Structures are given as C-alpha cells and as structure tokens.
Structure 1
C-alpha cells in the first residue's frame, strides 16, 4: 500500500506542476527543472527506501 500512496503523490505533484505551468504561475521548462532538481529526487528515493526497510 505504501508504494501506491507514493505513486499517487508523485502523480498529484506532477499534475499540479503542469497545471501551474499552464496557468502561467511557473515560467520554466521541464529540462531546466530536471537539471536543477534531479539530486533532490535521488534523496527522496533514498529516504523512501530507508523508511520501507523498517
């Protein structure tokens, strides 16, 4: 069930990002966003993996 919740939150986050971009609240491209934030994604994945072990 934990992975389903995580996947749902990821989809909600991606959807909110695209909605904000379409509404003009965010003025950046996906490439620039990924180039900046990919290390944070690795940290999140690592934390999730650690929490799943317990």
Structure 2
C-alpha cells in the first residue's frame, strides 16, 4: 500500500508541476529539463515499482 501512495503522490506532483508550467507560473530550466525527460521519469518510476514488488 505504501508504494501505491508514493506513486500517486509522484504523479500528482508531476501533474501540478506541468500545470503550473503551462499556466506560466513557473519559468525555469528545470521545467525544460522535465518537459524533455518526462517519459524517462515515468519508466524509472515503473521499474522502481516492479523491483520493489520482488
């Protein structure tokens, strides 16, 4: 159950970050970096969840 809560919080934080970036509230280099590499972040979270199960 703990990993589900963590995964949900990660998705919520990422969603809020991208929403704030699209609305122009955040304008930083980190936003560009995350906008470019978000698929890799999702893959890393998924692999982490799989490895935690074992």
> How big is the alpha-carbon RMSD for the aligned residues of Structure 1 and Structure 2?
2.6
Describe the superposition over 1:8-43 as per-residue Cα deviations: whole angstroms up to 9, x where unpaired.
221121112111221262787xxxx47x542x1223
What 5-or-longer segments of structure 2 have no aligned partner? none
Q: Which has the higher contact order (CA 8 A, sep 6+)?
A: 2
Structure showing greater radius of gyration is: 1
TM alignment of 1:1-54, pairs within 5 A: 1-2=1-2, 3-23=4-24, 25=27, 33=35, 37-38=38-39, 40=40, 41-53=42-54
Q: Offset of 1:52 from its aligned partner? A: 2.7
The number of residues matched between the two structures is 47
Runs of 4+ in 1 over 2 A off after TM superposition: none
